[in-house]
Chain A
Amino acid sequence: SQQGEEDPQALSIQEGENATMNCSYKTSINNLQWYRQNSGRGLVHLILIRSNEREKHSGRLRVTLDTSKKSSSLLITASRAADTASYFCACHTGANSKLTFGKGITLSVRP
């Protein structure tokens, strides 16, 4: 079963607007990570939030984690056309380092 499930599946916004993407998961996690993938290319790690953290910032990115609701959100502020990509949440669970990815959110930022 899918551990991380993103919502919405697709998001289209105007440049300068904020983009909010959500991720829900089923079992307890050690940490949750967000990755970006430009079309057909490798994934790029954006941010990692541990299970005992509630919020983390990195540049224009803000990630929150609510372990009671088993959910996380990724906020990209002041979006740019270059932010157009697919975004994945990935859950790190268990004693090994297996990462379980969601199906991804396609973000389109219109110039």
Chain B
Amino acid sequence: DSGVTQTPKHLITATGQRVTLRCSPRSGDLSVYWYQQSLDQGLQFLIQYYNGEERAKGNILERFSAQQFPDLHSELNLSSLELGDSALYFCASARGVSYNEQFFGPGTRLTVL
């Protein structure tokens, strides 16, 4: 158990819909990262927040957005969902802002029908 929690574990929805994925980092960790894992694209970095501020951006679509709240939990919002958004979404947390090992949550499996 990494100490990172993600909800929900599974999500099934339809194209065009909007969903919110939630992540709680390990106690004391200030950085939260979001990743998307699919068979064809592998593990792709989406976005990082550090202590409430956006820190780094990766291959995140404009239809996706994220935020980190004062209690340090984070939410990833996916809108106008397409079939190709079906994937495993992981969040990870780390102690500091850079160069640290990351602790991954169990993931949310999103299926878009």
User: Can you list, as one digit per residue, whether each of B81-104 has a CB less than 8 Å from chain A (1) or not (0)?
Assistant: 000000010101010111111111
A60 at the interface (CB under 8 A from B): no
Provide the residues of chain B in CB contact with A40, threshold 8 Å.
88, 107, 109
CB contacts under 8 Å to B, within A1-52, are 2, 30-31, 33, 35, 40-45, 48
The contact of A96 among B35, B48, B102, B104, by CB within 8 Å, is B48
Decide: A48 and B101 in contact? CB cutoff 8 A.
Answer: yes
Most buried by A among B56, B96, B97: B56
Decide: B45 and A99 in contact? CB cutoff 8 A.
Answer: yes
Given contacts A33-B101, A42-B104, A92-B99, A97 and B2 within 8 Å (CB-CB):
no
Count residues of chain A with CB under 8 A from any CB of chain B. 24
Decide: A97 and B48 in contact? CB cutoff 8 A.
Answer: yes
B28 at the interface (CB under 8 A from A): no
The contact of B48 among A45, A98, A104, by CB within 8 Å, is A98
A100 at the interface (CB under 8 A from B): yes
Main secondary structure of the interface of B (DSSP, over half): strand
User: Can you list, as one digit per residue, whether each of B19-42 has a CB less than 8 Å from chain A (1) or not (0)?
Assistant: 000000000000101010000001
Provide the residues of chain A in CB contact with B31, threshold 8 Å.
97
> A residues engaging B (CB < 8 A)?
2, 30-31, 33, 35, 40-45, 48, 88, 92, 95-104
Per CB-CB distance, the 10 closest pairs between chain A and chain B, nearest first, are A42-B104, A96-B56, A101-B43, A97-B98, A43-B104, A103-B42, A45-B101, A42-B106, A98-B56, A48-B101
List 27 A-B residue pairs with CB atoms under 8 Å apart, sorted by A's residue number: A30-B98, A42-B2, A42-B107, A43-B43, A43-B90, A43-B104, A44-B2, A45-B101, A45-B102, A48-B101, A95-B98, A96-B55, A96-B56, A97-B33, A97-B55, A97-B56, A97-B94, A97-B96, A97-B99, A97-B100, A98-B45, A98-B48, A98-B56, A98-B58, A99-B45, A99-B102, A102-B42
